[in-house]
Amino acid sequence: MQQLTLPRPDDWHLHLRDEDLLATTVPASAEVFGRAVIMPNLVPPVTTVELAMAYRERILQHLPEGSDFRPLMALYLTQQTTVEIVEQAAQNDEIIGFKLYPSGATTNSAAGVTDIEALDAVFKAMAELQVPLLVHGEVTDKQIDIFDREKVFIDTKLRPLLARHPKLKLVLEHITTSDAVDFVLEQGPNVAATITPQHLLMNRNDLLVGGIRPHNYCLPILKRREHQEALQKAAVSGSPKFFLGTDSAPHGQSKKEAACGCAGCYSAPAALQLYAEFFDRMNALDKLADFASHFGADFYGYRRATEEVTLQRESWQVPATVDTAIGPMVPYWANEQLSWQLV
């Protein structure tokens, strides 16, 4: 196969950041994707419908001419989130749901949730109104090994949450373990998961062997090979519970290559090509359209895309850096070869 045409994909987990950086991040994703779920972990966080709509307007100002890219806004869940805010979100077509960050779990998550059980009235409203909950699934207890934090979160937080609210529409984002795959498969059709290119293409050896590789550092952290293989199997299984979410997370090169480097892989410049690389390696290119273009839209209740994009089998090298208003950024897979290009 030398060409592959598929419906325009959607990115169900995307960080664009804000202000001057939007001039780089928005066109990079809008070139490929039709829709994207925009993460709300700005400083200060996007906690209300009003803040989300203002952020959306800033994003739209940076769309390439003629682009119909649609940013779908997530609200940042905090201990101060109310049922009234959930009701407002349910009435706004541009708000897709709420993002649950355990406080301290990842970039700009200090304002996140500290007591999940105390928000039961909010989760009840979300379940009744079918407002999705998008979950960063890790505990933050310093006594818990970083490689076990996803499993512990699933067992101690998610299972009890869904037992209390079985109709809650929930996406476990950027899953990294076989435990997460099993959990999602055990649940009903109201539970799904996104998978990133880095967790499909790499494991923790790619982070730690031969020296620490800061541009492969993300949260949740890369896990051992057996977990990578479980994700790979899920992605090509044809199950509608697993779909594309890049978690593309831009950071300046100077902040990644630092004594205390930040977490996140900026995959947007080669996002679809990276997924194509993985599906090709798995001899499963026939499954890419469902994973990238269909299953996420189906889960969230949007129409499937009718516009198409085409990939051509032609080797190219991901650039070493991307110039931005905050200085150079190193994209994920920098200086490495990919086998597929966008036509």
- Structure confidence at residue 39 (pLDDT): 98
Q: What is the pLDDT of residue 102?
A: 93
Q: How far apart are CA 189 and CA 132, in angstroms?
A: 13
Residue 136 known to bind ligand: yes
Beta-carbon-side half-sphere exposure of residue 228 (alpha carbons within 13 Å): 17
Q: Identify the H or E element spanning 169.
A: none
pTM: 0.97
CA distance 179 to 129: 29
Strands 95-100 and 133-135: parallel
Torsion of CA 19, 309, 283, 288, to 10 degrees: 70
Q: Where are the domains of the chain?
A: 9-306
Which pLDDT score, from 0 to 100, does residue 110 have? 85
Q: Flag whether 99 is marked binding.
A: yes
pLDDT for 123 equals: 98
User: Is 15 marked within a binding site?
Assistant: yes
Residue 100's pLDDT is 97
Q: Is 92 annotated as a binding residue?
A: no
Query: What is the distance of C-alpha 140 from the center of its chain?
Result: 19
Nearest Cα neighbor of 332 from 216, 196, 218, 223 is 216
The answer to whether 251 is annotated as binding is yes
CA nearest to 77, candidates 108, 52, 48, 107: 48
- Residues in the chain with pLDDT values less than 50: none
Q: Which residue has the tokens 């993460």?
A: 39
Residues with a known catalytic role: 247
Give the domain 9-306 fold: TIM Barrel (3.20.20)
CA dist., res. 117 & res. 128, Å (int): 17
Query: What's the confidence (pLDDT) of residue 281?
Result: 98
Place of tokens 């076990």: 148
Q: Are 219 and 173 in contact (CB under 8 A)?
A: no
